Amino acid sequence: MTRTPEETFRAVLDGACRLQNGDRDQVDELAELYAEKTDVRHPMAPLGDTPLLGREALRRHFAAAGAVGLAGFRVEDVRVHHTADPEVVVGEFTYRGDAGWSASCVIVLRVREGRIVESRDYIDHVGLARAANGLDALCAQLTGA
């Protein structure tokens, strides 16, 4: 059975939670939600957008993200908006963690035959840096220090 765009979006959120809570098997599970050739962008990334243009790039991305491990990582306030294009959904949600941090997110996904072929991820990167105790490092990178 092929997942709908909404089911695929929800599978990404579920996998991200499992990964951050220590399930390293989710690296491969998450990567498999993407087409072999995909185009994932983070337009609001503070250090500039580096497109992830294939499943293997996404696998490396998830492996690095999972290495951080954030206590009590969860997704809340999920809303899915369907569009006139049956391949496209817009998902709104908030990442939260036990330390009281939060990061708002909006993702626009194009899903074809159950796999993500394109995604634009608008994420509160400062909130995620705060969660991972990475604000000092981010500031140093931004200022060239």
Domain positions in the chain? 5-143
Q: Give the separation between CA 29 and CA 115, rounded to whole angstroms.
A: 12
> Is 3.10.450.50 the CATH number for 5-143?
yes
* Band (69; pLDDT cuts 50, 70, 90): low
Kind of pairing between the strands at 115-123 and 102-112: antiparallel
Q: Which residue has the higher pLDDT, 89 or 141?
A: 89
Q: Which of 52, 44, 65, 76 is nearest to 132 (CA)?
A: 65
pLDDT in tens, 1-40: 699 999 999 999 999 999 988 888 999 999 999 999 999 9
